[in-house]
Structures are given as structure tokens and as C-alpha cells.
Structure 1
């Protein structure tokens, strides 16, 4: 690394090059297409060939960017400095560099700081102005866990900013590599990183959760684009925009960084390790969060952008959808099949085919006649119904269409940038009235001949609640939906820009186009010079879906009086405060099982725990073996929904003559058994900002092997899921970090509670797994609340409760249960809930009601307590002082025993104690004895191999 630091020093101090420059210290000075030596050197940069085709040939060498002007000034929140541009060539002639630039460093908390580069003289767009719910700092933190330093070696040298963790001296940010640029439509900053363990940025499809730092560039700009491999050399930018990353430092500490900017951007990763941010508007507004580990970082991040919303209990049940059922009769048949096969099914959907010609707030009068009555019936049966709504509104109706006429009266449409007196006109789903659609026609022919002209609501408009909110409320009087699915809100446009294209202006033809799918910035969306939210669409494009989420959630809660669910396709930081997310239009192919796990982990970092992929795949026809494995995996998505497209064959669990129905039923029944635990995890996410689905490294950061695992995941701290992800595989290699782990199988109950052999020190094991299994393991040291399953949560919530007590090495365990009515809007804020804690110490289980603000009707009772990891069968058991040996049932050898036939009120405290044989008197004695036994076993292995002889 000595040569690296030498090179950096040379870059900072002198334009002279003494030797060839290593690839890892090169920072790209010509990310545009078509770099040549002449163009490179015209920017004041160096050109040198390289053997690595990914490394830049054009890179910064002489000082480039800005210098400090004057002294560092103290402010109420930290410090401020003026930056003046160095005398170097402007990067883009038609995008003049800003001079001066102000840099503010704000020390918000001991672990959070803000680094903001902005133009103090001119008003530039800032995302912060659109997010009033984000807390503002009130003063400088009295102490900090970081040091911010400014460095400059001379008046003609580029300045550098460095952020160091106080305790470890790790440099979290170091911009001494140069290249800071701040122009009207091109802003760039580069920084070295403390490690190459980088996660986050989105939304993209990736092969691994941990980023590959081998010269990868990721564009971020919301786009109606299905997950898939790179296109024309560009890593696809998908529906959401999340310029947030997590970096795990070499010692296991972690930090996160958010660039609060909504303009089209890219981040370039390189093996230095380092990264470069490039955006084409706004300001460089960074927030850094220092954590003790990844979970701590996410808690801080969600505290800042907004804690995740609390889903209703029924929203954790299994959900079923298809675009193109074709008629209400088909929907009725599917629902009945699910009931006949006894498969849990909480939520049925209406995709766009329930509408008349795919128009919002309508019902197809022919194919879906009787839909309101059907919805009323399934709701009486304990199910729920969710409908889709798209933003685009047709303008071509021959009869008055109130959403359009009223929206025009209120003037809520996005405006044409070339004539702001008129709305921008595009095309999306609604068909012209009176046309006969040829389903076999080519896409472009359909768009031209069938799809009506459409306008696009401005969800920042002051009257949006009067329009969007009121139509949601009015439609509820016709159809009693329980949730809203907002789609196509990138926003999508079936023509590029508008029906008339886009004019030649600087917004639609910026001097630099980040690595996003094109060929134009307005491809598949609106012209960037259109206006809404008081600014150009160029600035607010990636905020569109986010801006729709809050008024949608507000209207749903007002009309139903309940929490409901809102989930959307296009998201932005803080969207999890209002909505959930599904991972878009995936494909029925095997590698999308693995990639769905990566997507869930990403959105966990982004503060959106209510997430899942379309089970069995959206595009193309799923196959029984693929769908079966996917149903088993999807049973552990927080948002668990099977969904596919209009041209796809049916793939609901009862299809294929019920060939996969048994496996789907078993997996979903296991899910429903664990719903009390999952619901409690969502309460913790909502109140503390923790993740629900999480990477193994969140719990085992001391084990560096976990930092790259993404084919397994955890529910909270206690449940490990290791799915089979490959076609034809009948086993799976699972990694078990250092802990006690216990089997939990829904198919073979005799294995429940068996301790995983040889897993105590952290190792990979091959687990046999036929088509009817998904390996699920419980971590020692945790108490997991369970409940009897049923076909909907309305009925499962009335079933008896149970506890799984999984003991750790010391014979201890703990857990909790959050319980409310499952759907009231703010049970946490009104204290209308019951909080119960469970603690096992020294062969005693204490069940304690910490808060009793809610009483279920009927009252619930604990019926079963399962103890995993007991060194022996107890010789005596008491429940609240009463002998309970008659309730004990022995299971799987001598380490598992159950108490069954109990009736312990959930509203009361309870104490369960047990006595072990004298040689296993307590968990503490077990803990002390176990290392000795392990040592003796290890000695036996060594002796057995000395000179090939066996010793006994």
C-alpha cells in the first residue's frame, strides 16, 4: 500500500508524474463515452494506457477542484468553509462551474453528521425541502464519535475533507483523491473507503449482496424497468432510487452514508477501495451514520428518514394476485380452490383488469360484474381485498370522467415545460373508448392505436388530497378495499417524454448522462422540462412514487379507519415510513430466487422491511418444481405474494392439479405459526428501526465469513432460513455461525428441536432437503412466541399461543411478544397494546406482562411450551407453584421436552420452573461442564490420529 499513499501524495502536491500510476489509485476524469487522450488532457487530466480494460485511462493527476478560501468558521451546528475553484479547465462548457461553493459540516448527534456542499448565492433544488418529516438539528452535539478535518497543502492545492472514527482512527471518508466538481449540471466527489465491504445503493439487480468493487458503476434514477442483467453495458436502474450505502469496517464497526439528492446520478466503485458520486443537479448533501455494527446503522438511518410503518396483522398473511384473471368467475374459482385445499390465503388482489379499460376508480361492468358483492363476502369470511391504482388519467373519454374533469378544475396535472398553461400529455394504460383491442398485436401498434392520451397528477400539489384523496374515499363507497397498490409511478410513460416528444433544452439534453438506461434521460417517462412540485421534473422525477405514497396512505386510513397496507413500485429514502415494496416484475427463472434475497436485504438497509418478490415469478410461465421451491422461500418473505402477468399460465398453489399444494400448505402453515414473532419484529422495526429480514452479519459481525453470505437470511435475531435455490438440488449448504442451533421443520415434526451437530463453532454443513423441505433453524438464547395456524389471520389470531424456548450454552433464553388488535391506526401511540417478555435463567421461565393496554376477545392462552437444548429430562416441573409433571412430554432423545395441555392466560404473569437431575442441576453447571467435555473430545481425536494408532 506504500505506493498507493505515495501516488495520492503526488496527486495532491504536484503535476509531475514520476512513474506509471497503479490502477487502484486512478480516479476517472472522463466517465463520458468516447474518451481520447486529447479530450482527457483538455480537462487538465492525465492519460495513460492500462492492461485492465475496466480501469480508467484518463485520470486526475494535477490538483483539480476547489481550494479553501479564508478560515474555517464556527457555526451553531459545526463549522463552515468557503471553497474557491482552482484555475483548471471547466469540465462542460455549457454547465459552468460554481464559484464559490460553501461547505457546511453539521454535527447533529454523537453518531450522525451532515456534510453539505452548496451554492450560497443561487437557489438550487434541495430534496430536504420536500421532506418536512425529517428532523432538523437544533444544535451541535456536545460530544462526537468522529473527527472532521480539512486539509490543504498550499494555496494552489485542492482541499480535502476527512472523517475519522475517534475510537479506532479509521478514516471513513477521505476526499484527498481530488476531482471535486460543482457545476450547474454536473456535481462529483470521490472518497477513499476504510474497507471493500460495501452494501446498498438501489434499486438494481445484483449477483451478490456485497458489492463487487471491481470498477462497477451503478446508475440511480427511477425507471419502469424489470430486473435483469446489464443492458448495453449498463447495470439497469430499476424502479426505486436509494443513494444510501453501508460500509463495514475491518474491525466490524460500520457506518452508513446517504446522499440526499434526487437528480439522476451514478456511483462508481473501484478496488482502491473508493467510490465516486456523480449527479447532474441539486446539491451534495451527505448524511453519515456511525454504528457499532450494521444493525445500529439501520436504526440510526430510520430514526432520521422515518421509522417503517406498522403493517396490519393480516398484511403478514399469504396474498394472491394475477394480472389477467379475465373475469370475476375465475377469481372465485381460485379462492374456492385455495379453501378446498386448506391453504392459508388472507388477501386477494385486483390488478388492472378489474377496471373498465384500465381506468382508475372504475369496475369492468361485464367481466367483473358483482365484484363489490364478492369482496363483501370474502371479507365476511375473514379475507381482505387489495386493488391497484395507477397515476396516469385518461383524457379521451366521450362521457365525463370525473377523475379527469375534477383534476382539471383543480389544476393538479404536471405541466408541459414548453407551455406551462397546458398539462404534459403522454400515454399509459387506459384504452380509448369504443376500440376493439387485438391481444396479439405488437406493443408499439397497441400503444399507437389503443392507448389513450393521459395526464399525470402532481402529488406535491396543494390540492392533491382534495383530488386523489377524495376519489379514493368515493370509490370505497362502491368497493370495500383494504389496501392500495400504487404502480407505474416512476412515473411510467409508454411514449418517450410526451406524445410530441421533448424539445431541445438543457433539462432533456444534459451535458452528462449518468449510467442509466437510455438512450435519453426521458426514455419511458416524462420530459424533464415539465413542471411539478414547484420545480422541473428534472429535479423531482425520482421523488414521484415517494410523493404519491403519503397521500395514498393518508386517504386509505381516513376512509377505512384502519391501518391497511400501501405498497408501491417506485421508492425513495423514507418511503418505508409510508409504504411497503415488492421487487418488481421479476421472471420465472431459478436465479431470481437468490436475487430476491439480495433485494430483501437491500430494502432492509433502506428502511423498508415490508418487502418481497413475486413468488413463482412475474414474467413467463413458471414450472411446478420452480414454483414449489419459490413457495417455500416466499413463505419467509415479509410481504408474501404470488403474482404473475397477463400472458403467463396460472401459478397459484393449487394449480398443476394440486401437485405443489401440500408443500405450499406446509410452508405457509409454518409461516402462520411464526406470525406472532414476525409481528413483534415489525413492532421493533416501527419503534426502534431494526431490520426484520437481516443478513447474518447483523447478528454475527465478529464472524467475517458472514459478511458475504446472501443465500441465507435471518428473521430478526433468532430464525435462520437456508432455502434451496438451485434446480434439481436435494440438499443445501448452510453456514451456522457460532451459537447453538436447533432444527425446526414443518414436514418432519420429529426433528423439531434437535440440536444441529457440529454447528457450535461456526461452520458450513450440507443439509439433505427433498422437494418438501426448507431448512429453518432456531438460535439458542431466544424464546419465540407461536400460535396455531388457520387459513386466515382472523382465525389464527384466536388460536392458542405457544412458546419455543431455545436454550443457549448457559441454559438461558429471552424474547418478547407485541400484541394489539392488528389493524387500528396507532395502537403504539395510544398504548393500546400488550407487551410481554419472556426470560429463562437457571431453569426458570418468567412470563411478564410489561404493558396491558389491550385485551383480545376472546382472551388468549398459552397452551404449549417447548424447551430445546435441555441437557436432560426434568425430574420436576411446576407452573405457578403447581406440579405440572403430568403435562410433560418427551421429544427427540433427551434434549427436547414439551409442556402441553396448559391454559395460561396471556393477561397474567407466569413462572415455570424445572429441576434437572443432580449431575445437570442447572444451566450454569451445563455451561461449565460443556467446555470440559469438548476438550476431552478434542483430545480423543488427537490421540486417535497419533502415528495412525487408535487409543481407547
Structure 2
């Protein structure tokens, strides 16, 4: 389509080679378009000479959409216009647009009453904003469109004059111009750049799929989760967010203009606009609406060691022991499916005999265990029998006529039921628990199974995998496991493929299918999963609608079970996610590959998932698939030390890649981990703020500098909160790092010029493998930290430290949140925790640090013994220190001042008891010049 735009807009498109009045809306997004097929749809066939930008050759004529039939207040009744028809189904003749505000949030809902809406319980709370958004409408030539406008600037942030609104039962499309190309989000996909690329047409699939990321080249396939949310930075630095609440298979095309075309094949178009106006406020407003992230246990921020392919418990002991012997801080051992008896949940095989004794030993070392659990349960297995006695539900066929009786008859407990049986890791067919069961019986059974197993193996957290849900060999005559010596040739699941099955073979199957083209193993929505014709909750939900919610609903049940079973908050990590999943679980970025490209996309992925409200996130450090190598693993360990979820993990039949394999990697990991453990009080405080206020932990640099265009695509650098900048080494052979420091006060926190001012701008710094990667602290920051040891538990007993990095005016502020690290948080209003606010002010003659206890907890605290101050102007008089007006005997043997680096280091045992008063002031004067 090519609606009317300004002459300037026309020439802009000519400049980039399109020479049209606007972007084209693809009329044949399926593979193998040709002129006859295109024109048979009543569309325009217009080949282009340059095919590199993905311009569709088959595109809609002008006029696709609706006109305004009537308006009643904030309800707009639309009628299908006389323009081109929908190729994928009969257009609804009448639809509605309803607008409303929820605090600062604007909701625009396009659709019909009675259509499917995702059963997700968002808080739908709001956060106040200085900005307001308004909904405006217009029409021309039988075409209605609307815009969303930021009132303070009169800027259109969403402009559907592009046309192309289509609404049928199984095909919905909405198109819009954007105010700028600075758009971030949409997922889950492997993004090679932080900012989306609007110089070409790119379509990104969104369907939860057991699909490893491919970071080697640009790859727009969908991965494990679905996040229809983006943030856009406007030309003046204002930011806004857009969330489309839809759980059906969907896709988005980013196109020149800048513009986007969104398509889904079910539900309504339920759109929420968040006004910001800062990137941080956009995220806070979004998370206020969908739910703020859970607070992980303190130990869950420790380093984790894992692999798929341990030969038995002895090998796990060997590798954990090697890492511990290298002096590398380590908190968590993770067990993949190797520990199970023939890969069945809630079981342990003979090669892992003595596992509980080893877990008890690890607990004695202050380490924790996180085992994996898959959702599918074998249909001839005692837990399945208990599920039936509980009245638990599983994903089912809609009718008995659909049941694959030849499979069902193999399992007396499943026979004569409608339970849909599939194949995953266990030897025999499996059933998939229905976590949308409204009776609660399925959730109660799941909790009971975890409780029974916890009585045998006292795990501390839970890793849930395969929950897209994944299924092996769907619709395949010869699935891969037929050629595996470790798996029987179970008959695969086949979905109905006749013309009456509009769920598995809808008129439009989305990029999740069309991306794979002619590869029939992947050319169905049901590939690698269950049949979308299935039902949940006694038939009240169609799996076609709810598939993308499976990981979320399992995470909800699993988190509650973990809290009940252990009585502690622990942590759950889930592969598949959906908006609000961060309330219940963290996420790892999937089955990546041991390549530099995957290291780079993992840096971006962690930033994106913080945007999605899942700050407890990280990658499989050193790569899951393929063989890692010394340099790659070393650099990945250094970078991974700054991701909240920090786990080394690799796959079956590959060499061990834990840091103890290579002396150089062990040394670098020890250095990186000790830095991480030293700054855990800061990282934990960031998570506390994320859980309380919806702030991000790992965040894009542009969040702090939205007016600096140099930060808009700075994907390989990131911030830890507002105060620490990390620039990891992400290229092979690099011994220096090229990076950008925005216009601010910065100090080095790594080996190069530690503690010294670093000029902002584009700089190159040394990054040898034997030092920390480039880390900088922002002026004006007071960062709590703690003397590190080899576990988080032991580190918590050590004295607190405070790093002060003053701004140009000699001031710094910071905050510390502290609880016992494991108590369940029912409400922050009643939760037992401390909060301390730090305020530092210095002049040429004196200085003062004020510590205000703004929240009183009962948790015992270590004392604050060390204060390190950068850019301190002159030597202090160590005899002048006063604590709340009383003289303090500062240890002059361990306290120093360097006139060269301008660093003041105050170290005195039991210097400040943080609970001694609600307001504590440490003041001193400088030596007179």
C-alpha cells in the first residue's frame, strides 16, 4: 500500500531506493510468490532491481482497511470499506475500537467482544507520568486511521495512516509509521544489534519454539518465548513503549519509513501505550502493568557450574572440585537430565547414587543445587498415576475421534482418555500437564511431586526446560530419535492435516512456519510441539491460542511449589517466557553455540530481557553447542560475570569447558568472579530496586543518556544500574577495546589507570586477558560492596565497603538494600530488610559522609570497614575523623592517601555500625595547605 504522504517523504524514499510514497505492505508473505499468485489476490506485482533490502514484490493496493460507521464516546464502530479484501479469510464486516486510560497508560483495543483473550493475570497498575498521550482519528478516501500523540510535543508516536488494517477470524494486521528508527525490543529472537534496522524489510517470528539461536548470520527465526513489546526513542530524546497483548502465533515486520507491520492469527489487537518520557520510566510503567520481577535469593547471584553430559555423579564432583581448587568463587552446581533415571522427572539413576550425600556436602560448603525438571511426564509412570488420582489435567485432544488410539492403547493409565501423548527425553510416550487448570488440582499435584522428590534430594532452586512445550518428531515419518541409540523408536505425534483442522493449518501460518520454506520438518505451527487443535482447562482454551503461555504458566506453578517445598525464595529459571514471566522466574538465552557471534548476541539479549522485565537473565557461558576454546571461554567468563544469571554450561559429547580446564581461563575467571562477588551488594540492591520499582539491572547505555545519539546502538556495552559501565571484549584476538563513554565524569574500575578519571568520548583502552575487562564507575556514585570470598554465604559475613566516585562537584549518592538473602517476600511493605542511603559531600577543606537508614530491618549486618574515594583533592587529617560528632581512631597503618592517583582509602575494623543510629555522619577535615 502507498497512502498519501508529504513530498518530502516521497523524496526520502526515493533517496533510499524505493521511489514510492511509502513502504509496501506485503500481500504474499508466504514463500514462492509469483506474479500470477500475487495478482490472483488482487494485489500489485512490482519487482525491484535491488533485492538486498527485502522489498516485497507483491504488495497491497491502496485502500485496505475500514471506515468509520459511528462513534459513541470512546468507542468507534468500524465497517469494512470498499477497498481490497483479505486473502486469508473473510473480513469481519463490523469491528470496534475502544480507547481507555489506566492512569498514565493509553489502551487502544481493536476487535470484537467474545473473542479469545489471554488468561494472564496482570496487576494492571500504573505509574504516574508527567506526560499524557491522546488518541486521534482521521479518514480519507473511505479509509479510517488513528494516531497516538504525545500531547506535550504534539508528536505522533503511532500513526496508522499507512493503512492495511485487516481483521478476520484467523488473520489480523495493523500497520503504523514510527516517529524514529530508534526502536528496541520484540522477542524472543537473536538480535545482532541492539537497535532494529529500518533500512530494509525484516520479519521476525514470535511463536514459542524449541529453536536454538543462530547468531552466526542475521536470522529472524523465533526462539523460546514471545514478547510483543517495544520501546521507541523519539527524535527529541523522549521515549515511549508499546505492548500488544496477544498470545497467538504472531510476527512483526520492520520496514523503511520507519514503519512496522504487525500480524497475528487470533484474538484481538489489545494495545497499551506507555508514555515514559524516559527509557527507565517506560520500563517501570510496563512492569507496573504486567508485574515486577521476583527477587532472587542472594545465593542465586553466585556463579553456577553446569553441563549436559556428565557421565555420573563422580564427574560432577570432579569438575566442581577442580573449580573450587582453583580458588574460583562458586555457589551453585546444576544438574541436567543426566541425573534422572532414563530422563524421567523426579528420579535419580544408579550413576548418581549418593547424590543426596553430595548435596549435603555442598550445603556444608555453603553451595546450592539447582536440578532440571521437564514438564512432560511418562504415561506409564507412578507420578502420572498420582496425577490422575489428584484429578490433574493434561493437554488433551478436543474429541475422542482425534486420539491416536494406537499410541494410547500402549498405556493403560492413558487409554480411553483424550490426553495428547507425545515424545521427549523419556523412553516412552509422555503427557503434558495443563498448568491452566482452573481447579488447581494440576498445580497441587505438581507441588506434591516436587515435595516428594525434595525429600530425597534437597535442591535449592529449579530449572525448567522444554516448556514451549517441546515435543520430538511431530508430524515426521522419521524423527531424529529413530537414529539415536539412546531413545526407542516411539511412534511420533501426528496432527490432523485435513482441511477441517484450521488450528494446525490456518489460512496464514506466520513467519514461524514460512521462514523454513520447503523444509517439511519445520513447516507446521505444530512442528517441535503439540497439535494446536488441542485443548486446555476442560476445553475452555484452545492450544492454538495458549501455546505461547505454557512456559509462563509452568513457571507460576513451579515458583509457588518451590516456595512451599523449601520455605525459602530460591530461584526458578525457565526457557520459555511471556510478558510477566519475570514475576516468577529468570531466563537463560537458550542453546547457543561456542562462537564469538553468540558471545556478542548474548550481550544484547540480556539487555533486551531486562527491557521485558526479566532481569535474572544470562547466557550459557562459553557456549552450549560446539567445542569452546581457551580465548573464547576466557572472554565469555569475563563478560558473564556481569550478568545476573551466571552459568557455565555445555552439551553432550563435547569436552569440558569449565574454567578449570585452562589455567589462563581459571585465573581470569577467578579475577572476574572476585570482582563480581565484591560488588554483589550493589547487584543485589539493583535487583531489590527492580522488584520494588521495576528498574532494570543490566540496561542499555541509552537508558542513562537518551539524548546522546552515540548511545542508541551501543549494544556491546551495557550499564549495571545507573552507575557502572561494562565494555566486554567480544572479538577474537582483541587485546584492546574500542568503546564510548558519554559526556560525564568517569573513573576506571579495572587494571588500566584504576581509580583515575577517564576522559569521555571514543577511547581505546588495553584489555589483556590477564586483567579485568574494561569497567568504569560514573561520577556521583556511592557503590556498596563487600570483601569477597568463594561463596556468597561466606562473603555476607565480611565487612561492607563503600566506593565513592564523586561528580565534578565532589558529591556522590548511593543506596544499599539488605535482607537475609532467602526469606520469601510476600510484600515489601512487611518484608524484613534494611535500606541505607549514602550521601557524600566534599570540598577542598573537608568531607562528610551521611548514612541514613530509611528502612529498619532485624537482619544482622556486618560493619562498614572500608571506604574508598576516588578523585579526593587533598590529604585528609586522619586524626580529625568524627563519627556523629565523636572522635574516631582511624587505622593509619591500613588507611592511605595517594597524591598521584588522588585516591583516599580508609580502612578501620568496626569503623561504622550501620544500625547504631538512623542517621550516621562521618566527617573529617583535610591537611591544611
Q: TM (normalized to structure 1)?
A: 0.87
CA shift at 1:839, angstroms?
Answer: 0.3
Summarize the Cα distance change of 1:770–1:362 in structure 2 as closer, same or farther, 3 Å threshold: closer
Worse-matched range after superposition: 322-331 or 46-55: 46-55
Contact 1:107–1:144 (CA under 8 A) maintained in structure 2: no
| SS at 2:162 equivalent | coil
Give the equivalent residue in structure 2 for 1:898.
905
* Alignment of structure 1 residues 322-341 onto 2, 5 Å: 322-341=307-326
Give the equivalent residue in structure 1 for 2:123.
134
Give the equivalent residue in structure 2 for 1:789.
788
Give the equivalent residue in structure 2 for 1:119.
112
C-alpha distance after superposition, 1:615-655 (max 9, x if no partner): 11111221111111111111111111111111111111212
Q: TM (normalized to structure 2)?
A: 0.89
* Alignment of structure 1 residues 320-719 onto 2, 5 Å: 320-364=305-349, 366-395=350-379, 397=380, 401-407=382-388, 410-419=391-400, 421-431=417-427, 452-461=428-437, 462=439, 463-496=441-474, 499-503=492-496, 504=498, 505-517=501-513, 518-533=522-537, 534-656=540-662, 658-719=663-724
Give the equivalent residue in structure 2 for 1:927.
none
Question: Is residue 262 of structure 2 the alignment partner of residue 277 of structure 1?
Answer: yes
Worse-matched range after superposition: 909-918 or 898-907: 909-918
Give the equivalent residue in structure 2 for 1:928.
none
Summarize the Cα distance change of 1:807–1:428 in structure 2 as closer, same or farther, 3 Å threshold: same
Give the equivalent residue in structure 1 for 2:44.
46
Contact 2:387–2:442 (CA under 8 A) maintained in structure 1: no
Aligned equivalents of 1:316 and 1:493: distance in 2? 32
C-alpha distance after superposition, 1:653-686 (max 9, x if no partner): 2123x34211111110110000000000000000
Aligned equivalents of 2:286 and 2:595: distance in 1? 34
C-alpha distance after superposition, 1:831-870 (max 9, x if no partner): 41110010012421111211112231xx410111001012
Q: How many residues align?
A: 861
State the superposition RMSD in angstroms.
2.4
Aligned equivalents of 2:131 and 2:667: distance in 1? 56
Give the equivalent residue in structure 1 for 2:768.
769
Aligned equivalents of 1:219 and 1:314: distance in 2? 36
| SS at 1:671 equivalent | helix
* Alignment of structure 1 residues 841-920 onto 2, 5 Å: 841-842=841-842, 843-856=847-860, 859-875=861-877, 877-880=880-883, 881=885, 882=887, 887=892, 888-891=895-898, 893-903=900-910, 904-908=912-916, 909-916=919-926
CA shift at 1:411, angstroms?
Answer: 4.7
Aligned equivalents of 1:137 and 1:698: distance in 2? 20
Aligned equivalents of 2:269 and 2:512: distance in 1? 19
Contact 2:392–2:445 (CA under 8 A) maintained in structure 1: no
C-alpha distance after superposition, 1:249-299 (max 9, x if no partner): 011101111111111111001110000001111111111111122111000
| SS at 1:246 equivalent | strand
Contact 1:734–1:767 (CA under 8 A) maintained in structure 2: no
| SS at 1:152 equivalent | strand
| SS at 1:176 equivalent | helix
- Candidates 30, 33, 36, aligned match of 1:35: 33
| SS at 2:649 equivalent | strand
Give the equivalent residue in structure 2 for 1:811.
810
Contact 1:234–1:515 (CA under 8 A) maintained in structure 2: no
C-alpha distance after superposition, 1:323-345 (max 9, x if no partner): 12111111222222222222111
Summarize the Cα distance change of 1:728–1:66 in structure 2 as closer, same or farther, 3 Å threshold: same
Contact 1:44–1:89 (CA under 8 A) maintained in structure 2: yes
Give the equivalent residue in structure 2 for 1:948.
none
Contact 1:733–1:767 (CA under 8 A) maintained in structure 2: no
Aligned equivalents of 1:282 and 1:347: distance in 2? 42
Contact 2:376–2:431 (CA under 8 A) maintained in structure 1: yes
Contact 1:393–1:404 (CA under 8 A) maintained in structure 2: no
Worse-matched range after superposition: 824-833 or 668-677: 824-833
Summarize the Cα distance change of 1:57–1:8 in structure 2 as closer, same or farther, 3 Å threshold: farther
Summarize the Cα distance change of 1:409–1:49 in structure 2 as closer, same or farther, 3 Å threshold: same
Contact 1:202–1:220 (CA under 8 A) maintained in structure 2: yes
| SS at 2:375 equivalent | coil
Gaps of 5+ in 1: 11-18, 432-451, 920-952
Aligned equivalents of 1:894 and 1:199: distance in 2? 40
Aligned equivalents of 2:392 and 2:890: distance in 1? 74
Aligned equivalents of 1:885 and 1:791: distance in 2? 29
C-alpha distance after superposition, 1:207-259 (max 9, x if no partner): 1011112211101000001110589x962110011111111101110111111
Aligned equivalents of 2:899 and 2:72: distance in 1? 70
Aligned equivalents of 1:212 and 1:682: distance in 2? 31
Summarize the Cα distance change of 1:768–1:792 in structure 2 as closer, same or farther, 3 Å threshold: closer
Aligned equivalents of 2:639 and 2:806: distance in 1? 26
CA shift at 1:499, angstroms?
Answer: 2.5
* Alignment of structure 1 residues 183-332 onto 2, 5 Å: 183-213=168-198, 214-229=200-215, 235-332=220-317
CA shift at 1:60, angstroms?
Answer: 3.4
| SS at 1:292 equivalent | coil
Worse-matched range after superposition: 841-850 or 794-803: 841-850
Contact 1:84–1:101 (CA under 8 A) maintained in structure 2: yes
Contact 1:425–1:499 (CA under 8 A) maintained in structure 2: no
C-alpha distance after superposition, 1:421-462 (max 9, x if no partner): 41111100002xxxxxxxxxxxxxxxxxxxx21111111112
Give the equivalent residue in structure 2 for 1:946.
none
Worse-matched range after superposition: 190-199 or 490-499: 490-499
C-alpha distance after superposition, 1:85-122 (max 9, x if no partner): 113443236x2211210111111123x111111123xx
Aligned equivalents of 1:44 and 1:387: distance in 2? 56
Gaps of 5+ in 2: 11-16, 403-416, 476-490, 514-521
Contact 1:117–1:284 (CA under 8 A) maintained in structure 2: yes
Summarize the Cα distance change of 1:625–1:500 in structure 2 as closer, same or farther, 3 Å threshold: closer
Contact 2:699–2:718 (CA under 8 A) maintained in structure 1: yes
Give the equivalent residue in structure 2 for 1:445.
none
Summarize the Cα distance change of 1:801–1:262 in structure 2 as closer, same or farther, 3 Å threshold: same
Give the equivalent residue in structure 2 for 1:104.
98
* Alignment of structure 1 residues 171-182 onto 2, 5 Å: 171-182=156-167
Aligned equivalents of 1:118 and 1:605: distance in 2? 28
CA shift at 1:380, angstroms?
Answer: 2.2
| SS at 1:627 equivalent | helix
Give the equivalent residue in structure 1 for 2:732.
727
| SS at 1:644 equivalent | coil
Summarize the Cα distance change of 1:428–1:239 in structure 2 as closer, same or farther, 3 Å threshold: same
Aligned equivalents of 2:303 and 2:793: distance in 1? 13
Worse-matched range after superposition: 785-794 or 27-36: 27-36
Give the equivalent residue in structure 2 for 1:448.
none
Give the equivalent residue in structure 2 for 1:825.
824
